Amino acid sequence: MLLCAWTGAHAQQLPVYLDDSKPVEQRIEDALSRMTLDEKIAVIHAQSKFSAPGVKRLGFPDLWTTDGPHGIRPDVLWDEWEQAGQTNDSCVAFPALTCLAASWNPAMARLYGESLGEEALYRGKHVLLGPGVNINRTPLNGRNFEYMGEDPFLASQMVAPYVQGVQSNGVASCVKHYALNNDEENRFNVNVVVSDRALHEIYLPAFKAAVQQGGAWAIMGSYNLYKNEHCCHNATLLNKILKHDWQFDGVVVSDWGGTHDTEQAIKNGLDMEFGSWTNGLTEGASNAYDSYHLALPYKKLIQQGKYSVKELDDKVRRVLRLYYRTTMKKNKPVGFLCSESHYDAALRIAEEGIVLLKNERGLLPLKQGKRILVVGENAIKMMTVGGGSSSLKAQKEILPLDAFAAQCSTDYARGYVGDTVQSYNGVKVGRSLYDMRTPSELIAEAVEKAKQADYVVFFGGLNKSDYQDSEGHDRKDYALPYGQNAVIEAILKVNPRLVFVNISGNAVEMPWASKVPAIVQGWFIGSESGEALVNVLLGKVNPSGKLPFSWYKQLADCGAHALGTYPGTWRSGVRIIDEEYKEGVFVGYRWLEKQNIKPLFAFGHGLSYTTFAMNCQAWRDMGNGQYQFDVKVKNTGKCAGAEVVQLYIADKECSVERPKKELKAFAKVFLQPGESKVVTLTIGREALSFYDEAVHDWRAEAGTFEALIGNASDNISDKITFKLKD
């Protein structure tokens, strides 16, 4: 290998591609000129489940990818999904991305990315397959827990620092799933039919921010189709929008098994192919990875003269650029695995993302010294295990019941039995979940114990099983599973001091919400989950999370379901489902406000143990479509806390129908009791613009606008009217 031959006193003789004093683009061209056709073909497809070959002859090492986005996945065997059985591949499990988004704090996203990048670096991984930024279009999507909510601006502001944090360690962030992967059921067959305006205003902004603000080095295509082309080789999404319009200079990676056609893969923007099976074409073939679309089939088309090496060289340039950013990067930090700082980061992110949805009569925080009954399977069930590719082998996961027992006088009742599977992909779930009692016996136990308790804390919600919050399938309905509603109703009859903690990545139907005095959204929050939840419930931490999506009272309140467009319609005679996004740009709170539907809990909603006052003290027209708003926030309560100032824009005079308001700026501010701070929020012309389908570009029309300032989409305290001139 040349890498070791040209060192020390002979440094002046280094080939250009190894000389890090030369510009990277020059080094790429030099390396490209030295590669054979076989070497070029080799680097654009996998050689194992999670790796691609480098160029050994030229000193480029193998490239290793790893699933995230919430922790570094345990190693699997070279060519099988079974775990490799290693003892040094446990990790810190970080909160799911719904929790990160609920923090409404970009600083937490940067901390998250840096911490995760350090763990990947220590494990020898070069590409982290995450984060995910697909929009929460329906609460039934089994993979919503991996994404950042329903609002494109919030997701954009949270994804960029995450990507920057990961890549600060020399590990590439591969942002996924590009694009329109908004439900899991039949994900290989769904052809999304969506307007250009909705595509650009709702479904693409977070990907654009990851590329242009975050500087992402890799993008993963999605399984579904758009304009009848699979998104892993889609001319519009990849060639036109991503690589031409956004000037993306990184690598487009296929989702595992997402490549379906060799010639489309050649022409339509795919750079590296990875697969879910022994090979991508004929399962069980001896030349497994050589049979991929971008392997021997591609080489043969070049040799036959159907294609030149023009497209191939563009793909290889991008792969080499990725190598120079990762595997060939000198002076990288060492990285850390399961360090104290990473557990601290996981705890901080979890605590900031937990959302206090309801707190009547000041039931929370719980008073010390009282008898607490913990109810529910989710108090004893590991949530780092399962859910698909984000399943982890966490070094530890503190369960809610254990955290309560360490700090309080606590009793426990199972309440219901859900999923009793004891392992997933080789990782065991900890304590046994088997329980052979009938539902009536479980309810009777919970009711009897509730009579003796000062408080009942019910840990319910969803889990990581199929047809709940899990990759591969969507939820079958909006209701809580496993008969949880019956348990809750029975407990309320004997003890109204009930706190419901919903563990999930999605909203759920709560028919009893008006009768339960305190409701907490607890998410899937990783290694420190029990510690974070109990700290909030006991008041050691003041909750400051805000919902990153609207919480519908019923499924029919969601636009995708109200219009009957989910899950789409099968085409006659072919395995394609057309799913039309008839709601257009009216997703989430935009739809609710258009239809004058009141949600159970609004987008941006989240309570605190203290109180805040906010008002806009001044605003300024900075010229050229820029405006600044000075908002004074005061902690008027008795404990320290954090509030999120949210600024929405309403276009009052427009040639197209626009939402009543849209989030365009926010800031999280931390305050001691009695303390005040002035937060300045700045918006530009882009915040006033819509995507004009007639000219295929963004447009801000002159006219009257309103800036709406508050702490939730349904709680606006200030309205400022201003005009945009031509």
Confidence bin at 79 (pLDDT 50/70/90): confident
Alpha carbons 365 and 348: distance in angstroms, whole number? 18
Q: According to the model, what pLDDT value does residue 426 have?
A: 80
* Residues 471, 362 share a domain: yes
Strands 569-570 and 172-178, by their bridges, are unpaired
Tell me the per-residue pLDDT of 217-274, one tens digit each, with 9 for 90 and over: 999 999 999 999 999 999 999 999 999 999 999 999 999 999 999 999 999 999 999 9
**374 has a pLDDT exceeding 90:** yes
Residues 6+ apart with CB under 8 A from 700: 625, 685, 686, 688, 689, 690, 724
Same domain, 536 and 458: yes
Structural domain includes residue 665: yes
Q: Can you give the pLDDT at residue 349?
A: 98
Is the domain of 400 the same as that of 270? no
Cβ atoms of 548 and 603 closer than 8 Å: yes
Average pLDDT estimate for 588-610: 98
The span from the CA of 674 to the CA of 391, in Å, is 44
Any idea what the CATH number is for the domain that residue 682 is in? 2.60.40.10
Q: Are 427 and 385 in contact (CB under 8 A)?
A: yes
In angstroms, the Cα distances linking 45 to 49, 154, 196, 275, 518 are: 11, 34, 32, 9, 52
Indicate whether 638 belongs to any domain.
yes
Q: What does the pLDDT average to over 452-462?
A: 98
Which residues are CB-neighbours of 200 under 8 A, at least 6 positions away? 691, 698
Question: How high is the pLDDT of residue 305?
Answer: 97
Cis omega before residue 265 (within 30°)? no
Distance CA 549, CA 144 (A): 10
Cα–Cα distance measured from residue 187 to residue 474, given in angstroms and rounded to the nearest whole number? 10
Report the percent of the chain where pLDDT is more than 90: 90
> Is 127 part of any domain?
no
Q: What's the whole-number mean pLDDT along residues 281-309? A: 84
More confident residue, 214 or 428: 214
Burial class of residue 426, CB neighbours in 10 A (0-12, 13-18, 19+)? middle
Confidence band of 9 (pLDDT split at 50, 70, 90): very low
Residue 5 confidence (pLDDT): 42
The domain boundary, picked from 514, 532, 556, lies at: 556
pLDDT of residue 160: 98
The residue among 539, 556, 573 that closes a domain is 556
Quick check: 368 pLDDT over 90?
no
Q: Are residues 617 and 473 in the same domain?
A: no
pLDDT at 122 over 80: yes
3-state secondary structure 223-284: CCEECCEEHHHCHHHHHHHHHHHCCCCCEEECCCCCCCCHHHHHHCCCCEECCCCCCCCCCC
Q: Is the pLDDT of residue 278 over 50?
A: no
Phi, psi values for residue 671, rounded to 5°: -140, 140
The pairing of strands 355-359 and 518-521 is: antiparallel
Q: Retrieve residue 489's tokens.
A: 């109703």
Q: What is the pLDDT of residue 128?
A: 98
Contact 525, 399 (CB under 8 A): no
What is the identity of the amino acid at 111? Answer: L
Residue 523: is its pLDDT beyond 60? Answer: yes
Q: Are 119 and 167 contacting, i.e. CB atoms less than 8 angstroms apart?
A: no
Note the pLDDT of residue 429. Answer: 81
* pLDDT tens sequence across 65-74: 999 899 999 9
Neighbours of 284 (CB within 10 A): 8
* pLDDT score of 214 more than 60: yes
pLDDT digits (tens, 9 = 90+) for 144-189: 999 999 999 999 999 999 999 999 999 999 999 999 999 999 999 9
Q: Let me know how long the chain is.
A: 726
CA of residue 15 relative to chain centroid, distance: 42
Over its C-alpha atoms, the chain yields an Rg (Å, rounded) of: 26
Q: How far apart are CA 658 and CA 697, in angstroms?
A: 16
pLDDT reading at 460 higher than 60: yes
Kindly tell me if the per-residue pLDDT of 277 is higher than 70: no
Same domain, 282 and 378: no
* 428 CA to centre of own chain: 25
Compute the mean pLDDT over every residue in the chain, rounded to the nearest whole number. 95
Residue among 170, 437, 176, 198 at smallest CA distance from 324 = 170
What would the pLDDT profile of 535-544 be if each residue is shown by its tens digit? Answer: 999 999 999 9
| Residue 386 covered by a domain | yes
Alpha carbon separation from 164 to 111, 146, 524 (Å, rounded): 10, 18, 24
Above 70 in pLDDT, residue 455?
yes
> Once rounded to an integer, what is the mean pLDDT over residues 551-565?
98
Q: How many whole angstroms from its chain centre is CA 248?
A: 21
- Looking at residue 414, what DSSP letter applies? -
Are 34 and 58 in contact by the 8 Å Cβ rule? The answer is yes
Mark whether 403 and 535 lie in a shared domain: yes
Residue 343 forms part of a structural domain: no
Q: In the prediction, which pLDDT does 471 show?
A: 96
Least confident range of 200-204, 331-335, 350-354: 331-335
Phi and psi for 446 in degrees, rounded to 5?
-65, -40
CB-neighbour burial class of residue 369 (10 A; exposed 0-12, middle 13-18, buried 19+): exposed
For residues 671-698, give the mean pLDDT: 98
CB 207 within 8 A of CB 174: no
Are 503 and 394 within one domain? Answer: yes
Q: Is residue 86 part of a domain?
A: no
pLDDT-derived band at 288 (thresholds 50, 70, 90) equals confident
What are the residue numbers of the active site?
A: 255
- pLDDT band of residue 80 (cuts 50, 70, 90) is confident
pLDDT the model gives residue 4: 44
For tokens 């089939």, the residue is 297
Choosing from 531, 556, 581, the residue where a domain stops is: 556
Residues 378 and 502 in one domain: yes
Please tell me whether residues 383 and 487 are part of one structural domain.
yes
Pick the more confident residue, 7 or 691.
691
- Positive or negative torsion for Cα 36, 37, 41, 47: negative
Please, are residues 293 and 314 in contact by the beta-carbon 8 Å criterion?
Answer: no
Of 479, 44, 611, nearest to 293 by C-alpha is 44
Cα maximum dimension of the chain: 83
pLDDT band at 333 (very low <50, low <70, confident <90, very high): confident
What CATH number did the domain enclosing 389 receive?
A: 3.40.50.1700
Entry pTM: 0.96
Q: 3-class DSSP state for residue 575?
A: coil
Residue 566 DSSP class: S
> What local confidence, expressed as pLDDT, does residue 432 receive?
87
Contact of 519 with 337, CB cutoff 8 Å:
no
Look up the domain containing 522 and give its range: 353-556
In a domain, 619, yes or no: yes
Measured in Å, how far apart are the chain's first and last C-alpha atoms?
A: 62
304 and 377 together in one domain: no
| Cis peptide upstream of residue 106 (ω within 30 degrees of 0) | no
Same domain flag for 321 and 357:
no
The number of folded domains in the chain is: 3
Q: Which pLDDT score is estimated for 106?
A: 98
Are 536 and 431 within one domain?
yes
Looking at the domain assignment, is residue 685 inside a domain? yes
Q: Quote the CA–CA distance of 425 and 177 in Å, as a whole number.
A: 23
